[in-house]
Amino acid sequence: MTAPYVDKSLERPSFFLRLLGKQPKRNGLIAINNLLAAAENIEDVSVEQVEHAAVPYRLRIQRDLKQEREDLFREFLQHCIADHRFDPVEIDRLGHLRRLVRLSEDDVARIQRDATSSAYEGQVGKVLEDRNLTDEEEAFLVQLGEDLRLPTEISESIFASKAQEIVQRALHEATSDQRLSPSEETEFQALAKNLGVEVTHDDETHRVLERMRLYWRLEEGDLPVVDVDIKLQRSETCHFTADVDWLEHRKVTRRYNYSGPTARIRIVKGVYWRLGSMAIKPTSEDVLQHIDSGTIYVTNKRVLFRGERGNKSLRLNRIIDVEAYRNGVQIEKDRGKNPFLQFEPGADVMGMILERAIDESV
C-alpha cells in the first residue's frame, strides 16, 4: 500500500447523471487514487493503468479536474517532506507521479515551491521562537533549505521576513506602555543584530520613539533643568517653561429666549394668540475664557505665570490634579478657579514634569 493514499468510496451520481447513465468525473480521480493506494510503490502504477481507470468516467486526465490532480500530487509531496528532506528515490517517484496525473513541470515546480516554503517557514518559526539564533540553529536552517531543495533566495527571504516580524513584535512590546527605556532599547538592538535585521525608521516613527525615550527619562531619570531669566527663590529650580494662554471657565450668557410653549392659535385674520409669555429667559453656558497671555514656569516649588496683565504663583502643594491634553494642561487647585494653560506642542511634557514635581515635593 502506497502511503499516504487510502482507498476511497466512489461518489453517488446525482439524479441528473443517473438519468443520463453517467458517472461523476470526480470518480475517475477517486479510481486513480485507489490505484495508487493499492500499489506497493508509486512506480508500480503505469500510465496505461491510469488512463484505463479514467475511461468509465469520461475523465480526460490531461484537461479535466486540474485542481484535484494537483491535490493528488501535493498529498504525496507532503508525505515526502514530512522528514524535511528529499531523497533521490522520492524525487524519482514524484517525477513518475507527475506523468501519471499529467501535470506540467511548471505546475509541479509551483506546488513544490509552495510546499517546501511552507515547511521551511514552519521550522524557522520554531527555531526563532525563543528570539535567539545560535550558530547550530543557523547551520540547521541552511542544511534544511538544501535538503528541501529550496532556492537560496527563497529560504533567505523567508528567514528575513520571519526575523523582521519578530523584531517588529519585540519593538511593539517594548513600547506598549508608551515608554522606551535604555535597557529595552539595548535588548531590542541586540535582538535585531542577532537575527541580522537592519533597523531603520521613517521620520514619523523616529519622532514617536524619541518621544517615548523622553517619557521614560521624565518618569525615571532626573528632571530637566532649564536656565531662565527670572529670579527664583533659594533652592528653587526650573524644570519647564513655555509661552501659554491662561484660560479659565466662565459662565457666559449667549441669548435670551421666549419663555413657554412655541405653539400659537389664530384668533382672527392676522392676529394670533401665543401659548406662553414674554418673560425673559437667559441661556448661559460654561466656556473657557481667555484671561491672559504670558510665560509659564514649572519649578520644584511652584507654577509661576508671568503675563501681560499680571503675574500668578501657585504652590505645588495646592495642586490637586493635572491633566494634559494635546493643546494644553488643565490644573485643578484646592480652591479658586482652575486654569487651563493653552499651548502646543509640549503639553504632554509639561503634564509629566508637573506631576513628577508634585510627587517629589510631598
Q: 215-226 pLDDT, tens per residue?
A: 999 888 889 999
Q: Is residue 242 part of a domain?
A: yes
Q: Same domain, yes or no, for 165 and 248?
A: no
What is residue 22's predicted lDDT score, i.e. its pLDDT? 83
| Lowest mean per-residue pLDDT among 59-73, 74-88, 193-207, 247-261 | 247-261
247 and 341 inside one domain: yes
Number of domains making up the chain? 2
- Cβ atoms < 10 Å from Cβ of 305: 21
Over residues 126-143, the pLDDT tens digits come to 999 999 999 999 999 999
Residue 299 lies in a domain: yes
Q: Within this chain, do residues 244 and 185 fall inside the same structural domain, yes or no?
A: no
Mean pLDDT confidence for 331-350: 91
116: nearest Cα among 90, 139, 89, 137: 90
Residue 331 inside a domain? The answer is yes
At 153 the pLDDT is 95
User: Please, are residues 289 and 247 in contact by the beta-carbon 8 Å criterion?
Assistant: yes
Residue 35: is its pLDDT beyond 90? yes
Question: Residue 49 and residue 40: Cα distance in Å, rounded?
Answer: 15
Of 136, 143, 141, 149, which Cα lies nearest the Cα of 122? 141
Is residue 304 domain-resident?
yes
Among residues 262, 263, 259, the alpha carbon closest in space to that of 281 is found at 259
Lowest-confidence segment of 51-60, 191-200, 236-245, 270-279 by average pLDDT: 270-279
pLDDT of res. 288: 84
Cell of 121: 517557514
Instruction: State yes or no: pLDDT of 1 exceeds 70.
Output: no
Query: Does 109 reside within a domain?
Result: no
Of 12-21, 156-165, 171-180, 343-352, the one with minimum mean pLDDT is: 12-21
One domain, residues 300 and 198: no
Whether pLDDT at 191 is above 60: yes
- Based on the fold, state whether residues 247 and 357 are members of the same structural domain: yes
- What is the per-residue pLDDT for 14? 83
Q: E strands within the chain?
A: 238-259, 264-268, 271-274, 277-299, 302-307, 311-315, 319-325, 328-333, 339-342
Kindly report the CATH number assigned to the domain that includes residue 321: 2.30.29.30
Radius of gyration of the chain (CA): 39
In a shared domain, residues 300 and 192: no
Query: Are 181 and 139 members of one domain?
Result: yes
- Cα gap 32→50, rounded to integer Å: 6
pLDDT on residue 304: 95
pTM for the whole structure: 0.72
pLDDT tens-digit map of 238-296? 999 999 999 998 876 665 555 555 555 555 555 555 555 555 566 666 788 899 999 99
- Going by pLDDT thresholds of 50, 70 and 90, the confidence category of residue 20 is confident
Q: Is 12 among the domain residues?
A: no
Q: What is the pLDDT of residue 271?
A: 54
Residues 55, 44: contact at Cβ < 8 Å? Answer: no
The pLDDT value given to residue 283: 62
pLDDT confidence of 165, banded at 50, 70, 90? very high
Q: Give the span between the Cα atoms of 318 and 334, in whole angstroms.
A: 6
Indicate if 161 and 242 belong to the same structural domain.
no
Judgement on whether residues 243 and 332 belong to the same structural domain of the protein: yes
Residue 282 has a pLDDT of: 62
Q: How confident is the model at residue 76 (pLDDT cuts 50, 70, 90)?
A: very high
Domain containing 303 equals 238-252+285-361
> Nine-digit cell at 258?
421666549
Q: Is 284 helix (H, G, I), strand (E, B) or coil?
A: strand
CA dihedral of 89, 90, 92, 97, whole degrees rounded to 10:
140
pLDDT, position 3: 80
DSSP 9: P
CA pair distance 230, 79, nearest whole angstrom: 80
d(CA 117, CA 44): 30
pLDDT at residue 357, as a whole number: 92
Taking the C-alpha atoms of residue 209 and residue 183, their distance in angstroms, rounded to an integer, is 14
Residue 72 within a domain: no
Judged by average pLDDT, the poorest of 268-272, 282-286, 299-303, 341-345 is 268-272
Of the candidates 361, 360, 357, which has an alpha carbon nearest to the alpha carbon of residue 329?
357
271-274 and 339-342 beta bridge pairing: unpaired
Q: What percent of the chain has pLDDT over 90?
A: 72
Neighbours of 257 (CB within 10 A): 11
Residues 355 and 305 in one domain: yes
Residues 294 and 346 in one domain: yes
Per cent of the chain over pLDDT 70 is: 90
Report the chain's mean pLDDT, rounded to a whole number: 88
262's grid cell: 412655541
Query: Crossing angle, helix 88-100 and helix 47-54, to 10 degrees?
Result: 40
Contact 341, 246 (CB under 8 A): yes
For position 171, what pLDDT does the model report? 93
Structural domain includes residue 142: yes
Does residue 184 share a domain with residue 244? no
